[in-house]
Structure 1
Amino acid sequence: MSIRQIRHIPFSLLVLGSATAAHAAPASVNGQWVTQDKDAVVSIGQCGSTICGKLSQYLVTPPGGAGQKDVNNPNKALRDRKLLGTAFLTGFKADGQQWRGTIYDPKTGKTYRSVMYKGKSGNLIVKGCIGPFASHKLGHRDNQFRSFHPLHSTR
């Protein structure tokens, strides 16, 4: 091996290391998450080949009661389904250090493109996008939230 070849080894390793890091999978988002308003728990996990999130528990009973239905759904056949157990986060696939999929808003009946990723403090950050605009929702893993709100069990 020549001196010239040896000089280029560190640069080659640096490029290889950068390429490997860029293709690393995002942090897992699977688990129980408390919504930003601390009124519900969303269970995130595998749904076939993608990740999805379902409303799994109310921490605060909504005005329509625990049997609240999906009345704003644009699909009339789905308006009678209960929100509890409904998947609001669907089709999420790894994309760099985040997950991309769609989020359904039962208050409006609309579905938006979405990204989610773990924030530096361990929160789950979910952004729903309408064109160039995005709204943010933060959640906490249930075990972190329990220390702040011991009256509710999320398991």
Structure 2
Amino acid sequence: MSVVFRRSAMSAMVGLIGMAIGAAGSRAAPPSVYGFWLTDDADAIVEILPCSANNPCGRIVWMREQGPDIRDVKNPDAKLRSRPICGLDLLGGFQTNGSGWVNGWLYHPDEGKTYKEVSLTVRSAGTALTVSVGGGFFSSSETWKRVDAPSTRCGR
């Protein structure tokens, strides 16, 4: 084996080891929760964006049923029942746990209820969002689908 070949082989081996160590030490960032999400019943699109302290919050930006009569009529606060659902703040208060977002709240206008202990987990290479409420036996979840920004939005 020639000296040149051995040096080239050694250089290649050192380079491969360096790349392997670098790849093992770096993790890809998890897919972003920010963007537009179609709810599991396909009735609304929620835009999730960074709010206070860069924690996610979300609001309804598109609804299948549109019109001035779609109001927050089931809200327990009588003063809020006349507000439109389209454009409504729907979720917030989250903290990161490193792999997702936890300890948030979600307002469900169809029920007039605000749920606590809500978590958001992005899955399927960033194309699906699991929205979970509660934990343990009494938990429930929905899967929202990532979509492009709607061509028409609430109030536009």
Q: TM-score, normalised by structure 2?
A: 0.68
Shift in CA distance, 133/48, structure 1 to aligned 2, threshold 3 Å = same
Q: Deviations over 1:114-143 (max 9, x none)?
A: 001112352011012277412111111114
- Structure 1 residue 74 corresponds to structure 2 residue 79: no
SS at match of 2:139: strand
Alignment of 1:14-33 (within 5 A): 27-33=31-37
Q: Which residue of 2 aligns with 1:103?
A: 106
Q: Distance in 2 between matches of 1:134 and 1:81?
A: 29
Shift in CA distance, 75/97, structure 1 to aligned 2, threshold 3 Å = same
Q: Distance in 2 between matches of 1:25 and 1:119?
A: 13
5+ residue gaps, structure 2? 1-23
Shift in CA distance, 105/130, structure 1 to aligned 2, threshold 3 Å = farther
Q: Distance in 2 between matches of 1:124 and 1:140?
A: 6
Shift in CA distance, 134/103, structure 1 to aligned 2, threshold 3 Å = same
Q: Which residue of 1 aligns with 2:10?
A: none
Q: Which residue of 2 aligns with 1:123?
A: 128
The CA RMSD measured in Å over matched residues stands at 2.8
* Identity in percent: 37
Shift in CA distance, 94/82, structure 1 to aligned 2, threshold 3 Å = same
Match of 2:60 among 41, 49, 55: 55
Q: Distance in 2 between matches of 1:140 and 1:55?
A: 14
Q: Distance in 1 between matches of 2:152 and 2:94?
A: 23
Q: Distance in 2 between matches of 1:66 and 1:128?
A: 30
5+ residue gaps, structure 1? 1-16, 147-151
Cα deviation, residue 26, structure 1:
5.1
Give the structure with higher Rg (CA).
2
SS at match of 1:77: helix
Q: Deviations over 1:31-73 (max 9, x none)?
A: 0111111121100002222311100001x216xx454111111
SS at match of 2:93: strand
**Contact 1:33/1:141 (<8 A) preserved:** yes
Q: Distance in 2 between matches of 1:154 and 1:32?
A: 13
One-letter amino acid of the counterpart of residue 85, structure 1? G
